[in-house]
Amino acid sequence: MDSYNKIPDVEIEDKGEISKKFLELGITSFREACEYVHNIEYGYNSDYDDKMVLFKENKGTCTTKHAVITGLAEELNIPLYKYVGVYKFTEEISNGTNEILKKYKLPYVPMVHCFLVYKKFRFDLSEGNCNGKNTSIEEFIHEEKVNPFISRKDEYLLFKKILKEKVLPSKEMEGIAERSILKARQESIILLKENLKKQKYKLINP
């Protein structure tokens, strides 16, 4: 992904709920807001339908971090957008994935990640966070612009659409049933959460 210095350094004005919140926090520029959100602890939220949950719980995933920033961009009329991408989840990305791949006889597990796009630049505000992954996500099977606060249901339906149109018809997935991929995906989400806990424990107990 690209450096944050490519993010537009626009002054924040009170144009809505999100911009007002950042101003209350003493944050006065869009780039500063992005850096603030990047530095918020990576963690799974309790209510993804609450657009302010990142501030209420002082933690967030790629979903809630990028939702808040693209929501702010909308309020300030900045042409920066949230994209959802499906990527190949492997052992290189998160420890323990090989066991899942062997169990379901898969070359990889298709998983969802989201990021920001501004002009030709791409940014990931969860990159470098303690997030259960060993590396950043750079390559995607499919990328698609979405609403800042896309619902979990709609995101899942988009994932299923990409699964049927791009993943399952590929040579790599020949002969593999959709249900096997969906089960592997569920186990991979659990694995990421477990690895996140391990990473946080190591930070506290080096």
Categorize the per-residue pLDDT at 204 as very low, low, confident or very high, splitting at 50, 70 and 90.
confident
The CA dihedral of 4, 122, 132, 193, to the nearest 10 degrees, is: 120
Structural domain total, the chain: 1
Q: What pLDDT score was predicted for residue 201?
A: 86
* pLDDT for residue 203: 80
Average pLDDT over residues 52-71: 97
What is the distance between the alpha carbons of residues 73 and 75, in angstroms, rounded to a whole number? 5
Q: What is the mean pLDDT of residues 112-122?
A: 97
Whole-number Å distance between alpha carbons of 16 and 113 = 27
Q: Work out the pLDDT band at 134, boundaries 50, 70, 90.
A: very high
Instruction: Give phi and psi for 117, each to the nearest 5.
Output: -130, 130
pLDDT digits (tens, 9 = 90+) for 194-203: 999 999 888 8
Query: Domain containing 161: what range?
Result: 4-204
What pLDDT does residue 205 have? 81
For the beta sheet containing 142-146, the strands, ordered from the edge strand earlier in sequence to the opposite edge, are 121-123, 109-118, 80-89, 142-146
| pLDDT score for 90 | 98
> Mean pLDDT in the chain?
96
Mean pLDDT to the nearest integer, 106-115: 98
DSSP 3-state of 90: coil
pTM listed for this prediction:
0.93
Residue 206 has pLDDT above 80, yes or no: no
pLDDT mean over 23-44: 97
**41-42 and 59-60 strand pairing:** parallel
